[in-house]
Structure 1
Amino acid sequence: MPAVRQQRDADGMAVASFVLGLLGLLVLNLVLGPMAIVLASLALWRSTARRGRAALGLFLGITDLVVLAVLVGADRTVSWGLAG
């Protein structure tokens, strides 16, 4: 049964990376983006059955960091907000 559990863990990591990457677009992208990248990488490395979800989590995690860099560059500050 260890192989089944490892597969289930990898699938859970894929889903978690997707959710964290999606949430990271809205809040805490400096924290959630890297977490999504790490979880997606681990899920792909462990051969998850949800490769698409893991790839999307990886993409969203990277996008979180890009969005943060763009918004910080526009505001010239480490903190940013949506209010003008």
Structure 2
Amino acid sequence: MHLTAPARRPTGLRDADGMAVASFVLGLLGLLVLNVVLGPLALALACTALRRGTARRGRACLGLALGAADLLVLAAFLQADHTLSWSF
């Protein structure tokens, strides 16, 4: 009896999937804290994951949307009180 190893996904695709998940998580966190840093980072990771052909396209698209929302929230707070920081 000959056992074969399970098919492995290419490393680049696994990295792209990880980037998609990371962009989603960072975009979500960016809505609460450090949106000036986490928003652009979520956008960059989502774009890179989509460009590399991730299997988790939905997460990458959500990361892209949340990263953009982070920057919109930042712009709204900048307009409201003219500072880069905000508090409740």
State the TM-score, normalizing by the size of structure 1.
0.91
Instruction: State percent identity of aligned pairs.
Output: 67
Match 1:20 to one of 1, 21, 26: 26
How many correspondences in the alignment?
82
What stretches of structure 2 of length at least 5 have no aligned partner?
Answer: 1-6
The alignment's C-alpha RMSD in Å is: 1.6
What stretches of structure 1 of length at least 5 have no aligned partner?
Answer: none
Q: How does 1:5-84 map to 2 (within 5 A)?
A: 5-82=11-88
Per-residue CA distance 1:34-70 (angstroms, 9 max, x = gap): 0000000000000000000000000000100000110
Cα displacement (A) at 1:77: 2.0
Measure, in 1, the Cα distance between the counterparts of 2:84 and 2:28.
21
State the TM-score, normalizing by the size of structure 2.
0.87
Structure 1 runs, 4 residues or longer, greater than 3 Å off: none
Q: Which has the higher helix share?
A: 1
